[in-house]
């Protein structure tokens, strides 16, 4: 074993550990891998490592660019309301028994996810599924994991179903193998989806837990809060003091949303601001809290003012749940850093993360993708928040503007064109997707600025970094060494296929699916070369295994998204997902060699 192989294996281990620990984001880990590869390659001058120019060639790879273009297409479908329209149709299934509902859900969600990015499908359908659960009297936790699984199963059926398939196709085409066709994966993906649907319909209700959502952690009195105003009187003993110093923190049933001074909301924590005469306090009070707050010396409620100040009547505040979306600009920042109260005119009551409800030290907790927030505010503030991409409210499905809905036929025509041009071998997928994006921009279905904003650049940077690592593995001989290691465990291609699936499955449950396919696809190609057989069965197996992430909430983005909303625990995914993982494993190993012979 050469030092170059040791170096690349060390980089691979570093990436795997960093992805698993999540101390730094996956895209930053990928960038660090890229930088270390460039640095060592440049300084050592080794011919067994890819040169700087070769490493930068990953940015010319059409596969990541195709993935970026599909983000734009998905954004157009989202904006025109196509997914929302389908969600409204799906809600008609409220009278179905649970097993039949699961079958309809998987067929419906799987079909949509087969042609567009499955994350926006799950994001848009979440409020509809929650409303359906309320109508049926079902815990939402009985439906949200199947929703995520359905999107995953649909994604394994077509080339466009998930970015892993696009990346795998790009990797094998660059090695000289024919790229994946549009519906090639469907020959194994559809039977697997049928098995997965049957598994969920038969065992889902029994294996899925009954979990509480964030609103259920509140007592009936806590859910009835009122928003009102108070003001600081002249010569009040509260002047010059913070609310904490004035004893408000000891008062139960009242929270301060903001302090308004000279008509402007002050920045910072309202509990720590030193008050001045005439300051107005916007308060969220439980019924008994209004009485308690009235005992504060020198502070009067607006309704009791007799000094000519503008009065705002007390109104009932609404409690709503929202989830941090994939396009959120507030992810990674604390509530204090983004001035949540002033920015959204809402207060956060609790946060649900990784199966736990957090209600303490909220101001110092950085928000993350998939966090579920329990918030309270006026109806006007809630409606303003509903139009934001930062937080998806879960109380009701969205309603798209009529002007956007008129563009729906054009957007659907673009998707049909992309699929058709590739399915009939008229154009490669990267060209047909770019034609579709250009059509969407020219027809005004989506503004270029909106399209570029829809791209998840962190995923692209992750892909580029892992492609660079893949180049390093091939140049150094690490790919050949790892393939040989797998081959020595068994010389039988079917047993090696099974082992390849298990290794890929384990990686994708802890890493991202994109990182997994970029690392495993070259090994699959190398296995075919060493065994002297067609590598296609190994590639197809890697595609299925890298997407079939059912046992953890962190292996696939849609799992992470429903994790907090459904109030799940980490083990809930393992309880139902391990059986589904085994089902996919057994049927993949049985079907793939029969469809794609060695």
Model confidence band, residue 524 (pLDDT cutoffs 50, 70, 90)? very high
> Looking at per-residue confidence, does 581 or 126 come out higher?
581
**Residue 225 vs residues 218, 255, 286: alpha-carbon distances, Å:** 11, 10, 4
Mean per-residue pLDDT, 181-199: 95
pLDDT at residue number 400: 54
> Lowest mean pLDDT: which of 70-79, 128-137, 328-337, 347-356?
347-356
What are the pLDDT digits (tens) for 448-499? 998 998 888 888 999 999 999 988 998 999 998 988 888 887 778 899 999 9
Using pLDDT thresholds of 50, 70 and 90, give the confidence band for residue 551.
very high
Residue of 296, 313, 293, 314 lying closest to 233 (CA atoms): 296
In this prediction, residue 249 has a pLDDT band, given cuts at 50, 70 and 90, of: low
The predicted structure's pLDDT at residue 293: 54
The CA distance from 493 to 308, in Å, is 86
Q: In this structure, how many other beta carbons lie within 10 angstroms of the beta carbon of residue 382?
A: 21
Q: What is the mean pLDDT of residues 383-397?
A: 79
The distance of Cα 327 from the centroid of its chain, to the nearest Å, equals 9
Neighbours of 544 (CB within 10 A): 24
* Other CB atoms within 10 A of residue 573 CB: 26
Mean pLDDT, range 500-528, rounded to an integer: 89
Tell me how far apart the alpha carbons of residues 543 and 157 are, in angstroms, rounded to a whole number: 10
Residues 6+ apart with CB under 8 A from 475: 4, 48, 49, 50, 54
Q: Which pLDDT belongs to residue 309?
A: 33
SS3 56: helix
What is residue 307's predicted lDDT score, i.e. its pLDDT?
Answer: 37
Average pLDDT of span 97-111: 92
DSSP string for residues in 20-60: HH-SS-HHHHHHHHHHHHHHHHHHH--TTS--HHHHHGGGG
pLDDT, position 327: 72
Contacts 24+ apart (CB under 8 A), 237-240: 237/297, 237/298, 238/275, 238/296, 238/297, 238/298, 238/299, 239/275, 239/276, 239/277, 239/298, 240/274, 240/275, 240/276
Q: Where are the domains of the chain?
A: 216-315, 318-393
pLDDT at residue 335, as a whole number: 80
Q: Check whether 348 has a pLDDT greater than 60.
A: yes
- Name the pLDDT band for 543 (thresholds 50, 70, 90): very high
Q: Tell whether the model's pLDDT for residue 347 goes beyond 50.
A: yes
Choose the CATH number for 318-393 among 1.20.1250.20, 3.40.50.460, 3.30.70.1450, 3.40.640.10: 3.30.70.1450
Residue 218 CB partners (closer than 8 Å, separation 6+): 319, 349, 374
Q: DSSP secondary-structure letter at 251?
A: -
Spatial CA neighbour of 399 closest among 109, 90, 124: 124
State residue 305's pLDDT score: 37
DSSP letter at 400? -
Whether the predicted pLDDT of 250 surpasses 60: no
Does residue 176 register a pLDDT over 90? no
DSSP-derived secondary structure letter, 238: T
Q: What pTM did the predictor assign? A: 0.79
**CB 142, CB 210: distance < 8 Å:** yes
pLDDT single digits (tens) 404-430: 678 889 999 999 999 999 888 899 998
Helix and strand numbers, DSSP H then E, in the chain: 25, 10
Helix/strand/coil (H, E, C) string of 314-382? CEEEEEEEEEECCCCCCCCCECCCCCHHHHHCCEEEEEEECCEEECCCHHHCECCCCCEEEEEECHHHH
pLDDT-based confidence at 257, cuts 50/70/90?
A: confident
Class of domain 216-315: alpha beta
Q: How confident is the model at residue 313 (pLDDT cuts 50, 70, 90)?
A: very low
Residue 290 pLDDT level (bands cut at 50, 70, 90): low
> pLDDT higher for 200 or 320?
200
Given a cut of 50, is residue 561 above it in pLDDT? Answer: yes
Q: Which of 117-126, 304-313, 364-373 has the lowest mean pLDDT?
A: 304-313
Tell me what pLDDT residue 593 has. Answer: 94
Q: Return mean pLDDT, the chain.
A: 83
Question: Look-up: residue for tokens 């929270």?
Answer: 255
Do the domains 216-315 and 318-393 sit in the same CATH topology, yes or no? yes
Judge whether residue 30 has pLDDT over 50.
Answer: yes
> What tokens appear for 359 in the block?
């209600």
Q: Which of 59-63, 223-227, 303-307, 312-316 has the highest mean pLDDT?
A: 59-63
Query: Does position 259 have pLDDT exceeding 50, yes or no?
Result: yes
pLDDT tier at 296, thresholds 50, 70, 90 = low
For 30, half-sphere exposure in the C-beta direction (CA atoms, 13 angstrom radius) is 24
């Amino acid at each position: 074993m050469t030092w170059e192989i040791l170096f690349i294996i060390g980089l691979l281990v570093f990436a795997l550990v960093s992805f698993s620990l999540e101390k730094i984001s996956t895209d930053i880990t990928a960038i660090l891998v890229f930088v270390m590869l460039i640095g060592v390659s440049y300084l050592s001058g080794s011919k067994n490592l890819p040169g700087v120019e070769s490493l930068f060639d990953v940015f010319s790879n059409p596969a990541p660019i195709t993935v970026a273009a599909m983000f734009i297409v998905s954004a157009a479908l989202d904006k025109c309301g196509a997914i929302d329209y389908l969600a409204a149709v799906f809600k008609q299934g409220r009278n179905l028994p649970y097993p039949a509902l699961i079958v309809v859900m998987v067929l419906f969600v799987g079909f949509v996810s087969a042609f567009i990015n499955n994350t926006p499908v799950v994001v848009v359908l979440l409020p509809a599924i929650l409303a359906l659960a309320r109508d049926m009297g079902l815990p939402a936790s009985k439906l949200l994991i199947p929703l995520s699984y359905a999107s995953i199963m649909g994604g394994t059926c077509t080339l466009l179903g998930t970015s892993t398939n696009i990346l795998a196709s790009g990797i094998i085409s660059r090695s000289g193998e024919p790229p994946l066709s549009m519906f090639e994966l469907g020959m194994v993906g559809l039977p697997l989806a049928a098995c997965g649907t049957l598994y969920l319909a038969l065992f889902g209700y029994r294996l899925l837990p009954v979990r509480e959502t964030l609103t259920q952690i509140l007592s009936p009195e806590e859910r009835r809060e009122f928003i009102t105003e108070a003001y600081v009187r002249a010569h009040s003993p509260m002047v010059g003091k913070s609310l904490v110093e004035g004893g408000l923190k000891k008062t139960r049933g009242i929270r301060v949303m903001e302090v308004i001074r000279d008509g402007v909301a002050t920045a910072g924590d309202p509990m720590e601001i030193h008050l001045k005469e005439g300051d107005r306090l916007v308060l969220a009070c439980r019924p008994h809290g209004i009485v308690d707050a009235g005992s504060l010396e020198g502070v009067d409620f607006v309704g009791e003012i007799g000094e000519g100040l503008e009065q705002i009547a007390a109104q009932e505040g609404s409690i709503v749940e929202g989830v941090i979306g994939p396009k959120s600009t507030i992810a990674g920042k604390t509530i204090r850093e983004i001035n949540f109260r002033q920015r959204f005119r809402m207060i956060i009551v609790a946060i649900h993360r990784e199966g736990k409800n957090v209600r303490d030290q909220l101001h110092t907790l950085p928000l993350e993708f998939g966090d579920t927030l329990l918030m309270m505010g006026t109806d006007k503030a809630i409606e303003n928040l509903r139009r934001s991409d930062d937080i998806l409210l879960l109380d009701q499905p969205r309603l798209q503007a009529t002007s956007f809905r008129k563009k729906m036929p054009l957007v659907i025509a673009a998707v049909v064109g992309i699929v058709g041009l590739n399915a009939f071998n008229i154009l490669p997928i990267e060209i047909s997707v770019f034609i579709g994006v250009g059509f969407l921009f020219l027809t005004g279905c989506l503004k270029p600025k909106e399209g570029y904003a829809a791209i998840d650049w962190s995923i692209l940077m992750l892909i580029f970094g892992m492609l660079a690592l893949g180049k390093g593995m091939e140049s150094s001989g690490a790919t050949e060494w790892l393939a040989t290691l797998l081959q020595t465990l068994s010389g039988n291609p079917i047993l090696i296929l099974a082992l390849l699936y298990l290794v890929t499955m384990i990686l994708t449950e802890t890493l991202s699916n994109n990182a997994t396919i970029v690392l495993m696809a070259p090994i699959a190609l190398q296995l075919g070369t060493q065994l002297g057989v067609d590598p296609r069965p190994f590639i197809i197996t890697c595609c299925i295994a890298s997407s079939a992430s059912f046992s953890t909430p962190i292996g696939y983005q849609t799992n992470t998204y429903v994790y907090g909303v459904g109030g799940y625990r980490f083990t809930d995914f393992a309880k139902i997902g391990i059986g589904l993982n085994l089902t996919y494993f057994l049927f993949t190993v049985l079907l793939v060699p029969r469809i794609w012979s060695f």
